[in-house]
Amino acid sequence: MFKRILSSLSLVSNAIFPEEWSGDNYLLMNPDLAAIDLAKHYNEFGFKENRQGVFILTRVTLKDYLPKNFKYLEIGPLGRPFLNLKEFNVKYFDVLEKEALQEIAKNAPGQDPADVPHIDYVDTKGDLRVIDDQFDIVFSSHSIEHQPNILAHLEQVSSLLKSNGLYICIVPDYRYCFDHFQNPSTIFDCIEAYAQNRKVHTCKNLLLHKYMSTHNDPVEHWAGNHGSHHLHEIDFEETLKAIKKSTNDYEDCHGWFFTPHNFREIFKSSITRVMNLELEHCYETPPNAHEFLAVFRKP
């Protein structure tokens, strides 16, 4: 029976990945909510109050749910690939060749140049259309928020997936990282970037990254200690340079700011189906962490 389940990705995505919310568990953990609409309460209030009773899937437990006999693509492994060649049939995509990534890894926290894998597919602008193959599962960690045009990115991922294939993303929760002082992204932001066929980050996002970033300690953020932004340091001349540069060259920054709630709100809408992907799961951010996990499926 287990082998038959693994033979179908539609069954894998529905049967192996656990549901993120259960009314029975929610009531068990929150007995004060008896005799009310539990789903409505969670959607309107519970997620803001960090109410317990939901299943949380993390990067630590994710591998327990990934079949070893599938074909994988990992986007942006740098010096810390999540999917190891010893365990998975995986190929890697990045914006730089292995040697250049090793140089970056030398000065990056938690990165080891020796762990940078061979990069099978390279495109300096992050264009996935250079890949001429299809996969059962595409994986990315802290990559989707760097895309200037997030819907175009999903469109490209969809073209790389087999029918019923999965796109699994680990996404930063802006409330608990250096993006804390940003505003959450909306569906209209996504549509605007797609309509403009955006290839680089906007001047606004580059300036937000420069002047509105704070510390990156999730434990401190959960405790309510958010540090401060640098808006008072804004330099007019630097701002003008950023405006001119943003129209031509790619400069890396976070272009999107998500929580599990607004991620669901955006990608459960009809626009994602236009990209030929459906958001199947979106798990809550664990306490004292700064990331959550989402699973898209190609119908």
Domains held by the chain: number: 1
Range of the domain at 137: 2-177+256-297
- Looking at the domain assignment, is residue 242 inside a domain? no
Please give the pLDDT value at position 10: 40
- Looking at the domain assignment, is residue 248 inside a domain? no
* CATH number, domain containing residue 126: 3.40.50.150
What's the pTM value of the predicted model, to 2 decimals?
0.86
Read off the pLDDT of residues 147-158 as tens digits, 9 standing for 90 and up: 999 999 999 999
- Looking at the domain assignment, is residue 162 inside a domain? yes
- Looking at the domain assignment, is residue 210 inside a domain? no
- Looking at the domain assignment, is residue 243 inside a domain? no
Read off the pLDDT of residues 251-282 as tens digits, 9 standing for 90 and up: 889 999 999 999 999 999 877 777 899 999 99
Parts of the chain with a pLDDT under 50: 1-15
- Looking at the domain assignment, is residue 250 inside a domain? no
- DSSP assignment of 85-137: TTTSEEEEEESS-HHHHHHHHTTSTT--GGGPPP-SEE-TT--GGG----EEE
Please give the pLDDT value at position 6: 34
- Looking at the domain assignment, is residue 86 inside a domain? yes
C-alpha–C-alpha distance, residues 287 and 15, integer Å: 26
Please give the pLDDT value at position 251: 83
C-alpha–C-alpha distance, residues 155 and 170, integer Å: 18
β 89-94/121-122 pair status: parallel
- Looking at the domain assignment, is residue 158 inside a domain? yes
Q: Token digits for 99?
A: 């040697």
C-alpha–C-alpha distance, residues 292 and 76, integer Å: 17
